[in-house]
Structure 1
Amino acid sequence: MELRDYVRILRKRWLAIVAAVLLGVAVAAAATLVSTPRYEANTLVYVQVQSSGSIGDLAQGSSFVQSQVASFAEVVSTPRVLDAAIKTLNLSESADALAADVIASAPLETVNIRITVTRDSPGEAAQIANAVTASFRQVVGEITESSGANPTSQVSVSVLRDASEPTAPISPDTRLNLILGMLVGLALGLTFAILREVLDTRIRGERDVAAITSAPIVGGIGFDPRAVQKPLIVQEDPHSVRAEAFRTLRTNLQFLDVESGARSFVITSSIPSEGKTTTAANLAIALADSGAQVVLIDGDLRRPKIASYMGLEGAVGLTDVLISRVELADALQAWGRGNLVVLPAGAIPPNPSELLGSKAMSSIIRTLESEFDVVIIDLPPLLPVTDAALVSKLTSGALVVVAAGRTHKGEFAGAIAALENVGASVAGVIMTMMPTKGPDAYGYGGYGYGYGYSSQTPESSTVVPDGPEQPRKRLSPEWGNAEMPGADVKPV
């Protein structure tokens, strides 16, 4: 992963990271509040060797004490010293228990010993430190006594500083605990964000699509919770941002490299519920609004929805034409201003794959390509059935719809492979349910998403309600720009 990948993760998962930091601080604060304060009291003693007073004896004694002072420091925590202190203060704990709270240290190249006692009570800490120091002085005197008629101690311990009652606890350190809690929370938040991104197998944005296929992303439709109630957004709310996204898709289709010159596209997806049918219907309406002659075919002979969305009679349609029950011209139904013609699915057959892969289907597509500027065919998802792959070979290419946050990378890769295995062309990818904010929002890398159009009337976006069929005029090859004069096209 590159630096920009980590920046993208931070922008995408910043809320989780902030939550982890706050949680770490909260845990640290709670731990600080419930912790028992600990107080520290210490004394400082000076150890020296009794000498005759000559310079040589003093130097020799000082060297001896420096070499032995570490051993004297260890004496402080022994039961011989601590038992006497416990007896003096009438404590109820053992020497081993008290030793856990008593520390003696000897700084290098000195003859000083610092005795430190840590307790829950500041007064008790000072009393124990002074008592241990007094006991230590007595024990050192006993263990260093010379033999003879008048035994005297060769080492003396002088108190340089008595222990005083501490005014502030040494623990818990509130500031340090909060800083540690913040750092731990930040580390956990970053780890969670990175692991979540690395282990996420869903398509989230353009980067994920580009890693699987080289096909261009020709459009991105933002997520709209009202899409179920308003499937034909281009007609029902033509000034919305989502409707403008379909017009942007319409414009991008003009730049696709279609060698045959025909403009027939299959609209399909990897799995169900990715928005392929609403995408096909809205794209067809947007194309028709620009002045192009468009035919929309409901090729989903398993779960047809086009007729229901468009408010048309769907009893007769594609299946009837494929089995030569009705003529193609009789099955076509005009919609809107007459630039858009719809061919419903008709009755659901028992063998949809065989019908869609037949010569009759190829003949229908060729006929419609010759009479219309654009042919849009809505077909089932690629992974459950092969219908879309079969028909895609008969058209200019497939436009694969992929839902951000819903489709897994493996599913999308499988759909692309299904098309490539049969030699079909992947004309482009249409992303749906895209987040409208954040680093994964469509248009972040330079694509327009139509911001600002919601308060304006887009050019050529007015939708006329359903009415009588109007004469259709053929356009120049650069469809959707300007109407070319010419004879009316005879009805199909």
Structure 2
Amino acid sequence: MGRDDTMEKERPRSPAAALWRRKWIVVVMAILALGVSATVSVVRTPEYRATALLVRDRGSADVTLFGTAIYQSGDVQRDLVTTGQAIDSERVAGVVKQSTGSSRSVEKLVSMVTTEPSTDSNTIEVQVIGPDPVEAAALADAFATEAIHLRQEADKAALVLARQALEAQIALMTPADLESSLGRELQARVGQLTILEQLQTGGYSLWQPAQAPLSPISPQPVRDGVAGLAVGLVLGLIVALATDRADRRLKDDADFEREFRLPILALIPQVGRKWKRDGENVNGHVGFSSPYSAALESYRLLRSNLQYFEVEKGLRTILVTSGLPQEAKTVTATNLALSLAISGARVVLIDSDLRNPLMHRYLHLDNDVGLSTVLAGAARVEDAVKRVKTSDFLPEQVQGTRYSPQREQALQKDFLCLTSGPLPPNPAELLASPRMGEILKTLGTLADHLLIDSAPVLSVADAVSLASRVDGVIVVSRASSATIDQAHEIRNILDRVGARLIGLVVTGVKNGGKRAYDQGYYQQDS
């Protein structure tokens, strides 16, 4: 199976699980947004809004005198919009600045005023927003009044020009012409225009003067706080999902099973610190300090699952490997050997990591003679294997529980261990040699379970040569350390050699994981 085929099987992670893992991002961003909005609301200068209402005149003097509308537009909506645009123009603002004696610039006055025409009621709302409620009301009235005044002056100027044109025409007429019907009509028109000049209203009137507002429109702490909290939550959700999507690490049970396409055999809780180069372990310790420890229960579960596979599929020789170093594969193999031994099974444990062996340190065994020595033909298998006393790695006193440790103590046996031996110059060739097959066959006759700890799959090819020689392979992977890409690559490598993959052991699980036992459940009152 190629890498592309594997990637096609990668399914999106659950958004709910992602948000739960990144919940602190959402919480922190929501709190920050709330704090910022509250701070801005406190330090922000209050803003007040005053509104003056203009109403468009329905009747007009020109209709009364001439029987038709001369100066009003027949398109009411257009007239309202045009008048509104004229009100918040720099021309009107300049007049308002002079009439009110405002110290603000014309540009600032224009930015403070807005208009909202309404065709349903033939009105225009003139709104002014500013830091002083009294000033805002005065400016709103001034903008409305000056706009009406400018329209009046414009209409009057047009009437004056029309009247002057008629008067010039009349001045050229003879007395006889003046007595004619045309002369009399022209003279009557001059009189009507004179009257119309005096009656001009600009088409609008100030229906409702602005009142100084009692409360500001901003800031509003409650509204701003709710808005800030909502924005923070939305941004937090986006950042949390984006962060989780960018993070390729495997974090929970579903991630491991989905990306490895393998069942989880056991979840090993995190104990202690990380692995160090001197061999001090972190992902869990070899041996068990208490018969009720969560680690022991996890290995009991692993043992039970393996016994099921043994019955169903004849599983006896098992390779334990991982993708990278420091994932606790050696600790897992060793503790699994202990768990099987205390159940009465005959166990042989082999350290085939001929590059960075640690098993002899954990079990306090001499490593002068081991697997490399036997592979090189310098020793026999019978002389290289060492006996490990299980009692050295188990609690001294065992109390009775529903898991019956007394029975385990009665059945427990020591197990055999073949350490790595001195580091050879050609480990890959030695492990792939026919001699390695003979060693596995020989030790297999001595045990019910033959466990092999190998080098990491992604680091070297040592484990690959052994994977096809065993009954099954267990992959050990560390929670919140292994990535999706590593899972796919491990699966591809082992699939290519035809390895029989049994399942996963996930180490370094915090809080026990979804399926791990609660350690406190097994504590007994003394």
Q: 2:437 aligns with which of 355, 359, 362?
A: 362
Counterpart-to-counterpart distance in 2, 1:97 and 1:197: 47
Cα deviations by residue, 1:126-171 (Å, 9 ceiling, x for unpaired): 2222333332333232222233473323336443322222111112
2:378 is the alignment partner of 1:331: no
Matched residue, 2:297: 244
Q: 2:237 aligns with which of 190, 210, 216?
A: 190
Q: CA deviation at 1:371?
A: 1.5
Q: CA RMSD in A?
A: 3.1
Matched residue, 1:93: 104
Q: 2:455 aligns with which of 350, 367, 380?
A: 380
Q: Describe how 1:102-121 pairs up with structure 2 within 5 A.
A: 102-121=113-132
Matched residue, 1:160: 207
2:301 is the alignment partner of 1:301: no
- Contact 1:217–1:430 under 8 Å retained in 2: yes
Compared with structure 1, are the counterparts of its residues 177 and 168 closer, same or farther at alpha carbon in structure 2 (3 Å cutoff)? same
2:244 is the alignment partner of 1:176: no
Cα deviations by residue, 1:337-385 (Å, 9 ceiling, x for unpaired): 5421222111111111222222222112112211111111111111221
Percent identity for Structure 1 against Structure 2: 30
Counterpart-to-counterpart distance in 2, 1:165 and 1:455: 73
Matched residue, 1:264: 317
Matched residue, 2:177: none
Matched residue, 1:19: 28
Q: Describe how 1:79-478 pairs up with structure 2 within 5 A.
A: 79-145=90-156, 146-147=159-160, 148=163, 150=194, 151-155=197-201, 157-226=204-273, 228=281, 231-256=284-309, 261=314, 263-337=316-390, 338-436=413-511, 441-443=513-515, 449=517, 451-456=519-524
- Contact 1:41–1:118 under 8 Å retained in 2: yes
Q: CA deviation at 1:27?
A: 2.4
Counterpart-to-counterpart distance in 1, 2:521 and 2:201: 94
Counterpart-to-counterpart distance in 1, 2:315 and 2:43: 76
Compared with structure 1, are the counterparts of its residues 65 and 317 closer, same or farther at alpha carbon in structure 2 (3 Å cutoff)? closer
- Contact 2:348–2:446 under 8 Å retained in 1: no
Counterpart-to-counterpart distance in 2, 1:65 and 1:415: 77
Q: Describe how 1:43-82 pairs up with structure 2 within 5 A.
A: 43-48=52-57, 49-51=59-61, 66=76, 68-82=79-93
Aligned-partner residue type, residue 301 of structure 2? T
Counterpart-to-counterpart distance in 1, 2:464 and 2:427: 13
Counterpart-to-counterpart distance in 2, 1:65 and 1:307: 98
- Contact 1:232–1:281 under 8 Å retained in 2: no
Q: CA deviation at 1:455?
A: 0.7
Counterpart-to-counterpart distance in 2, 1:323 and 1:52: 121
Q: Secondary structure at the match of 1:423?
A: coil
Compared with structure 1, are the counterparts of its residues 2 and 308 closer, same or farther at alpha carbon in structure 2 (3 Å cutoff)? closer
Q: CA deviation at 1:453?
A: 4.9
Q: Secondary structure at the match of 1:113?
A: strand
Q: 1:10 aligns with which of 19, 38, 49?
A: 19
2:48 is the alignment partner of 1:39: yes
Compared with structure 1, are the counterparts of its residues 89 and 230 closer, same or farther at alpha carbon in structure 2 (3 Å cutoff)? closer
Counterpart-to-counterpart distance in 1, 2:336 and 2:65: 106
Cα deviations by residue, 1:188-207 (Å, 9 ceiling, x for unpaired): 22222222233322222333
- Please tell me whether Structure 1 or Structure 2 has the larger radius of gyration of its CA atoms: 2
- Contact 2:371–2:419 under 8 Å retained in 1: yes
Compared with structure 1, are the counterparts of its residues 129 and 399 closer, same or farther at alpha carbon in structure 2 (3 Å cutoff)? same
Compared with structure 1, are the counterparts of its residues 165 and 314 closer, same or farther at alpha carbon in structure 2 (3 Å cutoff)? same
Q: CA deviation at 1:241?
A: 0.8
Counterpart-to-counterpart distance in 2, 1:198 and 1:432: 23
Counterpart-to-counterpart distance in 2, 1:230 and 1:381: 16
Counterpart-to-counterpart distance in 1, 2:91 and 2:453: 94
Compared with structure 1, are the counterparts of its residues 39 and 387 closer, same or farther at alpha carbon in structure 2 (3 Å cutoff)? same
Counterpart-to-counterpart distance in 2, 1:309 and 1:264: 22
Counterpart-to-counterpart distance in 2, 1:368 and 1:80: 103
Counterpart-to-counterpart distance in 2, 1:334 and 1:282: 15
Compared with structure 1, are the counterparts of its residues 267 and 453 closer, same or farther at alpha carbon in structure 2 (3 Å cutoff)? farther
Unaligned runs of 5+ in 1: 458-492
Counterpart-to-counterpart distance in 1, 2:448 and 2:125: 95
Aligned-partner residue type, residue 175 of structure 1? V
Counterpart-to-counterpart distance in 2, 1:255 and 1:103: 79
Compared with structure 1, are the counterparts of its residues 111 and 65 closer, same or farther at alpha carbon in structure 2 (3 Å cutoff)? farther
Q: CA deviation at 1:16?
A: 1.7
Aligned-partner residue type, residue 11 of structure 1? W
Compared with structure 1, are the counterparts of its residues 136 and 423 closer, same or farther at alpha carbon in structure 2 (3 Å cutoff)? closer
Counterpart-to-counterpart distance in 2, 1:230 and 1:271: 14
Q: Secondary structure at the match of 2:39?
A: helix
- Contact 1:231–1:309 under 8 Å retained in 2: no
- Contact 2:80–2:119 under 8 Å retained in 1: no
Counterpart-to-counterpart distance in 1, 2:491 and 2:282: 30
Compared with structure 1, are the counterparts of its residues 84 and 52 closer, same or farther at alpha carbon in structure 2 (3 Å cutoff)? closer
Matched residue, 2:407: none
Q: CA deviation at 1:20?
A: 2.0
Unaligned runs of 5+ in 2: 1-9, 164-190, 275-280, 391-412
Q: CA deviation at 1:308?
A: 0.8
- Contact 1:262–1:369 under 8 Å retained in 2: no
TM-score, structure 1 as length reference: 0.82
Counterpart-to-counterpart distance in 2, 1:143 and 1:230: 89
Q: CA deviation at 1:299?
A: 1.2
Compared with structure 1, are the counterparts of its residues 84 and 220 closer, same or farther at alpha carbon in structure 2 (3 Å cutoff)? same
Compared with structure 1, are the counterparts of its residues 84 and 341 closer, same or farther at alpha carbon in structure 2 (3 Å cutoff)? same
Counterpart-to-counterpart distance in 2, 1:180 and 1:55: 58
Counterpart-to-counterpart distance in 1, 2:418 and 2:378: 14
Compared with structure 1, are the counterparts of its residues 359 and 53 closer, same or farther at alpha carbon in structure 2 (3 Å cutoff)? closer
Counterpart-to-counterpart distance in 2, 1:106 and 1:199: 51
Compared with structure 1, are the counterparts of its residues 187 and 55 closer, same or farther at alpha carbon in structure 2 (3 Å cutoff)? farther
Q: CA deviation at 1:268?
A: 0.9
Aligned-partner residue type, residue 368 of structure 1? L
Aligned-partner residue type, residue 243 of structure 2? R
* Deviation larger for 308-317 or 70-79: 70-79
- Contact 1:40–1:170 under 8 Å retained in 2: yes
Q: Secondary structure at the match of 2:216?
A: coil
Matched residue, 1:489: none
Cα deviations by residue, 1:93-123 (Å, 9 ceiling, x for unpaired): 3434312212233321434332221112112
Q: Secondary structure at the match of 2:118?
A: coil
Q: CA deviation at 1:187?
A: 1.9
- Contact 2:318–2:472 under 8 Å retained in 1: yes
